[in-house]
Amino acid sequence: MLTGKHLISGDWVAGGRTFESSPVVGDPKTFSEGSPDQVDLAAQAAEAAFASYGYSSRTDRAVFLDRIADELDGLADQLTEIGSAETGLPAARLVGERGRTTSQLRMFARHIESGEHLDRRHDTALPDREPAPRSDLRLIQRPVGPVAVFGASNFPLAFSVAGGDTASALAAGCPVVVKGHPAHPGTGELAAQAIDQAREACGLHPGVFSFVQGGSHEAGAALVQHPTIRAVGFTGSLGAGRALFDLCAARAEPIPFFGELGSINPVFVLADALHLRGGAIAQGWADSLALGVGQFCTNPGVLVLLKGEAATDFAISAVQALQAVPSQAMLSQGIADAYRAGVLGVAEAAHVETLFVSNIEGRNATPALFRSSGKAFLANPLLAEEVFGPMGLIVEADDMDQTLAIANALDGQLTATLQLEPEDQAEAQRLLPVLERKAGRLLANGFPTGVEVCDAMSHGGPYPASTNFGATSVGTMAIRRFQRSVCYQDLPASLLPDDLLPF
């Protein structure tokens, strides 16, 4: 079923250069490597498609999204088989991720059918108002134009070719050009096939969706700098994301770059919670930390508590829980190498105690656990940097004032968690205003891995968690990234968009 090619304006085409996949199971496969010339063709096709797709009805777009979900479900077994072989993720995880992917496609279909995303507003004319009359003003959200999406390494389905960025952009009325991730090129191609089959069945312009394979930096740079691209969705590393963000800002006409770049998702365990259920919190934190070999953007890498006997007991419980976690394959060799380097960097940092040493052999890894004082954490910015993988750091603060200092010193986060009991309310009230400015989602007595796809979800945060602190990449609000406000003043009804009538 795999061609190893790119999908550009409805045709599967090969490139001059090739690369090989690096599966955990099975033989490598050969895929075409995207080039700036192919990116140019895809972006031009997307611009041509916008003339029709950008003005299509919400009903037609909802039918398209539902059809994509159906096509993905039709490829269920193949997606699970090749996704598991390429990434090492267990079949059950990929089945669940496919369910999330199709559910969010259908969620956006229902969302645009309701019209809630349009945020329609109407101020009627006041011709007799003094001292000056008011015109008739109608406002609506319109699609921005072609959107570039970069597939993520850690979610081969839900944050990649047919993932949330693509779903929300298509829902808004924006054609999409996806640059696939080289860690799972076969999975990406199958998802692209599903989207193209749905596009063809719905009779849409072939430029509505294109897919370019490979990890070429040249192709990525060409995509975000192409003059027809009007916005970018990205999930990945801070270094790669920041480089693309800077290219978007340096364009003659800058465009928004919606990047999710990195987060340590701190957990603050307050005094009564630590004393009453420290062991249970340690087990829950270890489970969250090690979930999916720690390869979640919401992985809770740092935990802060007050030093003392209860903190010592907590560390013992966390070590015991993490020792039981078996070695597992990471998503790619590059991720495993970066994890190894990150663990080594923390282990060699001053005033950091190694509680449990990670065993990293080739692409496989086990958790690692370290401990530092609050003073050491505040003195060394390295300890507050994300290590992508199942590495945890326990920070023992001297008192509540130092805990607040730690919270204030944090960079932007996707999430921040409070473990608390009723007796901890006063301390929580001191922390909450600080954490609210640091994170896009605040949790109580839970753990941040697992992001519900729904209306009320916010998956974003201040930099470097994301490059646009007012945006979310999960939930129905994600569509707002790919819309812009247009106000129509005194236009006759015959010239207004259909979505403004009879509003």
Confidence band (pLDDT; 50, 70, 90) for 1?
Answer: confident
Q: Is the bond leading into 422 cis (omega within 30 degrees of zero)? A: no
Per-residue pLDDT at 269 exceeds 90 = yes
Percent of the chain with pLDDT over 70: 100
Tokens 């496919």 map to which residue?
98
Task: State the pLDDT at residue 215.
Answer: 84
Specify the DSSP class assigned to residue 445: S
Residue 157: name the closest of 33, 13, 331 by CA.
Answer: 331
Mean pLDDT score, 113-129: 97
Q: Of residues 33, 97, 297, 427, which has the active-site annotation? A: 297
| 352-356/368-373 β-pairing | antiparallel
Please state the separation of Cα 35 from the chain's center in Å: 25
Angle at which helix 217-225 crosses helix 36-53, to 10 degrees, equals 30
pLDDT at 13 over 90: yes
Q: How many residues are given for the chain?
A: 503
- pLDDT classification of 15: cutoffs 50, 70, 90: confident
174 is catalytic: no
Q: Which residue in the list 86, 97, 189, 260 is annotated as catalytic? A: 260
Structural tokens at position 222: 């060409």
The predicted-structure confidence for 395-433, as pLDDT tens digits, reads as follows: 999 999 999 999 999 999 999 999 999 999 999 999 999
Cβ burial of 133 (10 Å; 0-12, 13-18, 19+) is exposed
**Per-residue pLDDT for 40 more than 70?**
yes
Residues 265 and 267: their CA atoms lie apart, in Å, by 7
Distance between CA 289 and CA 285 in Å, rounded?
A: 6
CB 237 within 8 Å of CB 261 = yes
pLDDT of residue 93: 95
pLDDT value of residue 503:
67
268 has a pLDDT exceeding 90: yes
User: What tens digit of pLDDT does each residue of 168-220 get?
Assistant: 999 999 999 999 999 999 999 999 999 999 999 999 999 999 999 988 899 99
Could you tell me which residues come within 8 angstroms of residue 422 by beta carbon, excluding any fewer than 6 positions away? 272
- Sign, CA dihedral 231-233-238-239, equals negative
DSSP reduced 3-state for 336: helix
Q: Which tokens belong to 215?
A: 């990890």
Helix (H, G, I), strand (E, B) or coil at 257: strand
Q: Quick one: pLDDT at residue 361? A: 82
| pLDDT tens by residue, 440-488 | 999 999 999 989 999 999 999 999 999 998 899 999 999 999 999 999 9
Classify residue 370 by its DSSP letter.
E
pLDDT at position 362 is 86
* Residue of 77, 333, 13, 4 whose CA lies nearest to 183: 333
What does the pLDDT average to over 274-301?
97
Confidence of residue 29 (pLDDT cuts 50, 70, 90): very high
Q: What is the largest CA-CA distance in the chain?
A: 79
What's the gap between Cα 226 and its chain centre? 23
**Cis preceding linkage at 464, omega within 30:** yes
Question: Residue 151's closest CA among 142, 139, 160, 143?
Answer: 160
Handedness of CA 251, 18, 361, 348 (dihedral sign): negative
Average pLDDT, the chain: 96
**Residue given tokens 């707002």 in the structure block:** 480
pLDDT digits (tens, 9 = 90+) for 307-333: 999 999 999 999 999 999 999 999 999
Query: Beta partners for 6?
Result: 13
Strand order in the sheet with 352-356: 352-356, 368-373, 391-397, 302-306, 267-269, 413-419, 439-444
* Helix (H) or strand (E) segment spanning residue 212: strand 209-212
